C-alpha cells in the first residue's frame, strides 16, 4: 500500500486525485470520530468535510515528523471543537431505556428484531452519556475506545503527556457510569 506521505506530497503540489486517495483512506475514521464527538450524522458530515478542506489548505504545514493520520486527527479534533462551540442545536430527545449493557457481551450473532432495537436504544443511551461528558474526556474516550488508538498516540494527538491521557480516561469512565445510570432511570 502506498504510504500516506507520498499522496500528501502529490496533494501539496495541487494533485486533487492524490487528495481523493487520502480522503478515501481516512474518511471513515474521521467521520466516526466526528459522529461520536458531535452526536449526530449531520454535524459529523459537516465536520468531516471541514476537516478535509482545512487539511488540504494546511497540507504544506505538515512536517512529516508524525504520522499523517495523527496530524489529521488533530485537525479533526480542532474542527469538532469549533463545531461544538458553535452548535447548540444538537440536543436530541432520548427515548431509549435499557436495563444494562450485558446484552452486548452476550451477542451471539443471532440478530432478532428485538435485539436490534435494544442495541439501537443502548447505543443512543451511551451516545447521550458520552455527549454529557466534558469535551476533553469525550475526546479520550472516543479516541481510545472507538478509534482504538494507544495512550501514546492519543497523547501525541491532543498534545499532552501519556499520564494525563491515562488519568483523563480513568476520570471519563468513572464519570460515564453514573451518567448512564441516570439516563437509564429517567
Q: Is 154 exposed, middle or buried (0-12, 13-18, 19+ CB in 10 A)?
A: buried
- Residue with Cβ nearer another protein (84 or 126): 126
DSSP state of 145: I
- Rounded Cα distance between 122 and 90, Å, is 19
- Rounded Cα distance between 15 and 33, Å, is 26
Q: Is 128 in the site for another protein (CB under 8 A)?
A: no
Contacts with another protein, 141-180, as mask; x by CB under 8 A: x--xxx---xx--------------x--xx--xx-xx--x
Which 67-86 residues touch another protein, going by CB under 8 A?
A: none
Indicate which single residue of 41, 90, 134, 182 sits in contact with another protein (rule: CB under 8 A): 41
- Residue with Cβ nearer another protein (2 or 16): 16
- Residue with Cβ nearer another protein (56 or 97): 56
- Rounded Cα distance between 131 and 152, Å, is 24
With b for 16 or more beta-carbon neighbours within 10 A and e for fewer, the 123-145 pattern comes to: ebbbbbbbbebeeebbbbbbbbe
- Rounded Cα distance between 148 and 30, Å, is 13
Which 7-26 residues touch another protein, going by CB under 8 A?
A: 14, 16, 19-20, 23-24
DSSP track, 89-100? ----------S-
Stretch that binds another protein, among 41-49, 60-68, 72-80, 81-89 (CB under 8 A): 41-49
Indicate which single residue of 60, 91, 101, 161 sits in contact with another protein (rule: CB under 8 A): 101
Q: Is 97 in the site for another protein (CB under 8 A)?
A: no
- Rounded Cα distance between 183 and 61, Å, is 43
Q: Is 117 in the site for another protein (CB under 8 A)?
A: no
Give residues in contact with another protein (CB under 8 A). Answer: 14, 16, 19-20, 23-24, 27-28, 31-32, 35-36, 41, 44-45, 48-49, 52-53, 56, 100-102, 104-105, 107, 122-123, 126-127, 141, 144-146, 150-151, 166, 169-170, 173-174, 176-177, 180
Amino acid at each position: 500500500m502506498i504510504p500516506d506521505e507520498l499522496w500528501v506530497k502529490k496533494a501539496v503540489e495541487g494533485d486533487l486525485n492524490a487528495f481523493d486517495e487520502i480522503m478515501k483512506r481516512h474518511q471513515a475514521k474521521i467521520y466516526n470520530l466526528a459522529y461520536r464527538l458531535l452526536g449526530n450524522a449531520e454535524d459529523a458530515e459537516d465536520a468531516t468535510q471541514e476537516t478535509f478542506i482545512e487539511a488540504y489548505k494546511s497540507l504544506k504545514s505538515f512536517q512529516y515528523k508524525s504520522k499523517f493520520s495523527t496530524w489529521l486527527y488533530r485537525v479533526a479534533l480542532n474542527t469538532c471543537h469549533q463545531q461544538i462551540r458553535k452548535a447548540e442545536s444538537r440536543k436530541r430527545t432520548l427515548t431509549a431505556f435499557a436495563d444494562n449493557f450485558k446484552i452486548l457481551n452476550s451477542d451471539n450473532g443471532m440478530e432478532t428484531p428485538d435485539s436490534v432495537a435494544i442495541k439501537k436504544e443502548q447505543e443512543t443511551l451511551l451516545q447521550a452519556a458520552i455527549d454529557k461528558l466534558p469535551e476533553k474526556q469525550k475526546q479520550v474516550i472516543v479516541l481510545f475506545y472507538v478509534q482504538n488508538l494507544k495512550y501514546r498516540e492519543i497523547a501525541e494527538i491532543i498534545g499532552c503527556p501519556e499520564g494525563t491521557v491515562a488519568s483523563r480516561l480513568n476520570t471519563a469512565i468513572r464519570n460515564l457510569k453514573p451518567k448512564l445510570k441516570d439516563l437509564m432511570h429517567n
